[in-house]
Amino acid sequence: MARTDWQPQKIPSEKFEIVGIKQEETEKLADQSVSFWKEVFLRFSHNKLAIFGIIALVIITLLAIFVPVFSPYSYREQLGIYNAAPTATHWFGTDDLGRDVFVRVWQGARISLFIGITAAIIDLIIGVLWGSISGLAGGRVDNVMMRIADVLSAVPYLLVVIILLVVLEPGLLPMIIALSITGWINMARIVRGEVLSIKNQEYVLAARTLGASTWHLIKRHLVPNALGAILVTMTLTIPTAIFTESFLSYLGLGVPAPTASWGTMAAEGNKALTSAPWRLFFPAFFISLTIFSFNAVGDGLRDALDPKLRK
pLDDT at 300: 83
Average pLDDT, the chain: 80
* Rounded Cα–Cα distance for residues 120 and 128 (Å): 12
- Whether 24 shows a pLDDT value over 60: the answer reads no
pLDDT at 83: 80
Mean pLDDT of 142-166: 83
* Rounded Cα–Cα distance for residues 122 and 128 (Å): 10
Determine what percent of the chain is predicted with pLDDT higher than 70. Answer: 86
Q: What is the pTM of this model?
A: 0.77
Do the domain assignments include residue 23? Answer: no
* Rounded Cα–Cα distance for residues 104 and 283 (Å): 9
Pairwise pLDDT comparison (101 vs 28), residue with the higher score: 101
Task: Report the number of secondary-structure helices (H) and strands (E) in the chain.
Answer: 14, 0
pLDDT at 22: 56
The residue count for the chain: 311
Helix 227-250 to helix 101-137 angle, to the nearest 10 degrees? Answer: 140
Show Cβ contacts of residue 191 under 8 Å, excluding neighbours closer than 6 positions.
127, 128, 130, 131, 132, 135, 226, 229, 230
Cα separation of the two ends of the chain: 61
Do the domain assignments include residue 11? Answer: no
Do the domain assignments include residue 229? Answer: yes
* Rounded Cα–Cα distance for residues 269 and 93 (Å): 12
Helix 157-168 to helix 172-180 angle, to the nearest 10 degrees? Answer: 150
As for how many domains the chain has, the answer is: 1
Domain span at residue 289?
36-65+92-309
Do the domain assignments include residue 71? Answer: no
* Rounded Cα–Cα distance for residues 204 and 150 (Å): 28
Mean pLDDT of 83-102: 83
Do the domain assignments include residue 216? Answer: yes
Do the domain assignments include residue 2? Answer: no
Show Cβ contacts of residue 26 under 8 Å, excluding neighbours closer than 6 positions.
none
Do the domain assignments include residue 294? Answer: yes
Give the SS3 label for residue 94: strand
Do the domain assignments include residue 243? Answer: yes
CATH at 134: 1.10.3720.10
Residue 259: band (very low, low, confident or very high) from pLDDT cuts 50, 70, 90: confident
Distances, alpha carbon 153 to alpha carbons 148, 160, 174, 207, in Å: 9, 10, 20, 34
- By the 8 A CB rule, do 268 and 258 touch? no
Q: Among the listed ranges 1-5, 146-150, 160-164, 209-213, which one has the minimum average pLDDT value?
A: 1-5
